[in-house]
Structure 1
Amino acid sequence: MSNATPRYAWTGHASSGATAGVIEAASPTAAADLLRGRGITPLTIRPQGNGLVAGTPLGWLTRLRAGPQRPAESDKRSGLFAPKVRPVDLMLFARQLHTLLRSGVPILRALAGLQESAVNPAVKDVLLEVRKSLESGIALSMALARHDRVFDPIFVALVRVGEMTGRLDEVFLRLFHHLEFENTLRQQVKSAMRYPTFVVAAMVVALGVINLMVIPAFASVFAAAGASLPLPTRILMATSQFTIDWGWAMGLASVAGWFGLRAWRRTPQGRLRIDAALLHMPVAGKIVRKAMLARFARSFALALRSGVPIEQALSVVAQTVDNQHIARRLDGMRGAVERGDSILRAAAAAAVFTPVVLQMVAVGEETGAVDELMDEVAGFYASEVEYELKTLSQQIEPILIVMLGVLVLMLALGVFLPVWDLGSTAMKH
């Protein structure tokens, strides 16, 4: 029996680009660790003279070849109702890829395993395309950038940094926590909007029933009596008649207006105007602003901690903040930093940050811990948003009660005043 150290042929990516070679190691896992220590992200690791990859820490991957079977092109899903890659799918992808890379599994085999175990067909298709790009010699970050509807700019930028530093496993763990934060924020907003949306929808339905069914019944009675009707009743009857005559046109106009607003929002000018207006809406505006600040702070801290330069971090974060008005201000902030301004002066000039954020930026610049303090800002505003969303129904309830009170008052005056007058007339006679 020979005691010679096994030799492995490998391919990978370094900061200088694609590379390959042969390495001596006790196992494929040890070989992957040695390569990452050299700043190389391993793509494939094969024992010399054997096409199979053995000795991996995950048993279900040992059956895979270095070049796994590709699904047929006809398996790809397309069309309007094709499945989409959900935020939960991205979180699972980042977490699992972190575990596989940390265990020493080469990136190609890790992607093959994730593709095989994925439940969502859209995830399978994306991973297949990413694997094809990697096999053709393209870096992982560039392969992910080709799917910009799935992987946002900050995801791609951090993966690029991970490739350059050889710490892809750490980057994917940070991305998992970032995606978890974003998903939690999104779910909190949806949960908080359920109650007011239901109440407003119920009021709209009630108005439709009153105008189309209730008031016309009373109108026929009042017309037969021939009595003089008070002003509230005449207003209700005119509103009801207008709804009956032109309700279809109002419905069409509402649908056309909705689609027109969506189309306008897709234009740069429309998106800018609407996003700026969202920040000044009563009740909801402060929640939107705090949510944007939490997202900015968390993304900025993540980019800085991962080694992204400040100018590039601001550029990437501007693309990920879901508000064009704030994104424009962040682009201006990046330009100011490039011209030599401090982060604090650039942030103050942007005029979108609260005094809390500016104070944290000032302390961070003095201590060299901007990323840590931005994390604290993100946690602070995430807590603020959570509290605001939990109390949103309490803040909206007075407005809804006033609207409902006005509706009931108009209905009561319009219906019962003439009934009262008719009863009084009948008693006199």
Structure 2
Amino acid sequence: MPAFEYEALDAKGKKSKGLITADSEVAARRELRGRSMAPLTIRHADQRAERRANSGTDRAAGFALGPSNLTNRQLMLITRQMASLIGAGMPIAETLGLIAQQGSKHHAKRILTAVRARVTEGEKLSTAMEGFPRSFPAVYRAMVAAGENTGGLGEVLARLADYLEKDEAVRSRVTGAMIYPAVLTTVALGVVTLLMTFIVPRIAEQFVGMGMDLPGLTQAMIAISEFLQVGWPFLLVGMIAVVVASLVLLRQEPVRRSFDAFLARIPALGSFLKQAESARFCRTMSILIESGSVLPDALRAARRAAGNLAFKDELGKVIQDVESGRGLSDSMRNRGWFPTLSLFMIAAGERSGALGEMFRRSADQLDQDVDRTISVGLNLLEPGIILVLGVVVVTIVLSIMLPIIQINTMALG
């Protein structure tokens, strides 16, 4: 039964919005009048949600119109709820309707109601989700389809929810851990800016008035201070222009691919990125294979889940090798992206027929390695920031002290 989004006046003349299911727009208006409501506008929720989800104009514009797609956290919560309800035997359409009615945001309610309408009309859940690709990524839909084909949708959704919860936990942990360094950096930069724009110029005037030859470090600091006082608008505009240009260029696939490949070649950062991409790949493969997907289809879905375009290209070569009859572990070994331990575990899974389980164990190990790397990196970040800013402050103070020492030396001589 189709879903409609309506605006109507209640018996007290108050405008209200909501969703209603009916056979047609006429039936929806009749249903609203039966509730003592005067309908103002009625739109197909399915078409409206799909148009908003695919356009993404609200989000891109940056105005306070509200999001049109499901956020990562919303998708995580919805997936967990669907896993619990469907696993308990509740029909899919009834599950979607219940989740939509209980505490969902308006845009999430619209999307879920539209998906429910498609399911009610006979579409599979994964097919119904295809109308909202920004809310339900391709790899997500592939996993749901695998669960539908094997009859284990509830189990697959539970694994998906675990994966999304872990990803959200890591993201929240990194965000929370970055708050203190961000505040520290902002305060320190404010202090440095104050020194360079107010303190250094006042002291420089005194030294210049004496007609003395200033040390090179002091002259450099005075030159930087004068530039900041006069050229800060140009510096600000230049920084904004660089950021905007970078964002625009990175939207171009060739530029993004080259940039991703460059990041992967940086010694420390590259190793971490490869580790993180491998963990995501192994987790996705474990869910798909244990859900009954055949290897080539699982590889294609995992490739769509990859965030690094250079890694996607390498996975494309792996898919070609596998489809030509080559072993998966052998092809992965030649790519240079995957840790040795994971390759051994995957090779063992191929020989024993437990490939999904080996991918899962490899993903668990890689997740632990990624968490450990993040912890070490965050622990080193704070003292690193303090060290860098300490060097900057010491340099500024030294540039002020050198002329004073020079004056004292001249006076004593």
- When residues 398 and 104 of structure 1 are mapped into structure 2, their CA distance, relative to the original with a 3 A threshold, is closer
Query: Which residue of the partner structure matches residue 14 of structure 2?
Result: none
For 1:297, give the aligned amino acid: C
1:73 aligned to 2:43? yes
Give every structure 1 segment of 4 or more consecutive aligned residues whose post-TM-superposition deviation is greater than 6 Å: 64-71, 74-78
Kept in 2, the 8 Å contact 1:188–1:389? The answer is no
For 2:79, give the aligned amino acid: A
Q: 1:120-175 CA distances to partner (integer Å, 9 max, x unpaired)?
A: 22210111221232244432212112211111122101221222233322222222
1:165 paired residue among 150, 168, 172:
150
Give 1:191 deviation, angstroms. Answer: 3.4
Query: Which residue of the partner structure matches residue 49 of structure 1?
Result: none
Query: Which residue of the partner structure matches residue 301 of structure 2?
Result: 316
Query: Which residue of the partner structure matches residue 190 of structure 1?
Result: 175
- When residues 315 and 232 of structure 1 are mapped into structure 2, their CA distance, relative to the original with a 3 A threshold, is same
Higher helix share: 2
For 2:212, give the aligned amino acid: A
Give 1:243 deviation, angstroms. Answer: 1.5
Query: Which residue of the partner structure matches residue 124 of structure 1?
Result: 109
Query: Which residue of the partner structure matches residue 178 of structure 1?
Result: 163
Query: Which residue of the partner structure matches residue 230 of structure 2?
Result: 245
For 1:210, give the aligned amino acid: L
- Tell me the secondary structure at the aligned position of residue 334 of structure 2: helix
Query: May I ask how many residue pairs the two structures share in their alignment?
Result: 366
Give 1:401 deviation, angstroms. Answer: 4.7
1:272 aligned to 2:257? yes
Rounded to whole Å, the distance in 1 between the matches of 2:389 and 2:301 is 46
Query: Which residue of the partner structure matches residue 224 of structure 1?
Result: 209
1:148 aligned to 2:125? no
- When residues 406 and 105 of structure 1 are mapped into structure 2, their CA distance, relative to the original with a 3 A threshold, is closer
- When residues 213 and 370 of structure 1 are mapped into structure 2, their CA distance, relative to the original with a 3 A threshold, is same
Superposition pairs of residues 411-426 of structure 1, within 5 angstroms: 411-426=396-411
Give 1:66 deviation, angstroms. Answer: 9.9
Rounded to whole Å, the distance in 1 between the matches of 2:161 and 2:22 is 27
Kept in 2, the 8 Å contact 1:66–1:109? The answer is no
Q: 1:243-266 CA distances to partner (integer Å, 9 max, x unpaired)?
A: 222111111111111111111111
For 1:129, give the aligned amino acid: A
Stretches of structure 1 that go unaligned for 5 or more consecutive residues are 1-10, 12-63
For 1:141, give the aligned amino acid: S
For 1:73, give the aligned amino acid: R
Rounded to whole Å, the distance in 1 between the matches of 2:142 and 2:134 is 15
Rounded to whole Å, the distance in 2 between the matches of 1:166 and 1:350 is 35
- When residues 276 and 194 of structure 1 are mapped into structure 2, their CA distance, relative to the original with a 3 A threshold, is farther
Query: Which residue of the partner structure matches residue 107 of structure 1?
Result: 92
For 2:197, give the aligned amino acid: L
Give 1:427 deviation, angstroms. Answer: 4.8
Mean CA deviation greater in 133-142 or 146-155: 133-142
Query: Which residue of the partner structure matches residue 351 of structure 2?
Result: 366
- Tell me the secondary structure at the aligned position of residue 157 of structure 1: helix
Stretches of structure 2 that go unaligned for 5 or more consecutive residues are 2-19, 33-40, 53-57
Kept in 1, the 8 Å contact 2:275–2:338? The answer is no
For 1:389, give the aligned amino acid: I
For 2:340, give the aligned amino acid: P
Kept in 2, the 8 Å contact 1:94–1:175? The answer is yes
Kept in 2, the 8 Å contact 1:278–1:285? The answer is yes
Give 1:294 deviation, angstroms. Answer: 1.4
The sequence identity of aligned pairs, in percent, is 26
Superposition pairs of residues 5-404 of structure 1, within 5 angstroms: 72-73=42-43, 79=58, 80-81=63-64, 82-83=66-67, 84-281=69-266, 283-396=268-381, 399-404=384-389
Give 1:385 deviation, angstroms. Answer: 1.6
- Tell me the secondary structure at the aligned position of residue 148 of structure 1: coil
- Tell me the secondary structure at the aligned position of residue 350 of structure 1: coil
Query: Which residue of the partner structure matches residue 52 of structure 1?
Result: none
- When residues 371 and 245 of structure 1 are mapped into structure 2, their CA distance, relative to the original with a 3 A threshold, is same
Kept in 1, the 8 Å contact 2:130–2:136? The answer is yes
Aligned-residue CA RMSD in angstroms?
2.7
Rounded to whole Å, the distance in 2 between the matches of 1:303 and 1:213 is 61
Give 1:331 deviation, angstroms. Answer: 1.3
Rounded to whole Å, the distance in 2 between the matches of 1:66 and 1:366 is 54
Using structure 2 for the length normalisation, give the TM-score. Answer: 0.81
Give 1:93 deviation, angstroms. Answer: 1.4
Larger gyration radius, structure 1 or structure 2 = 1
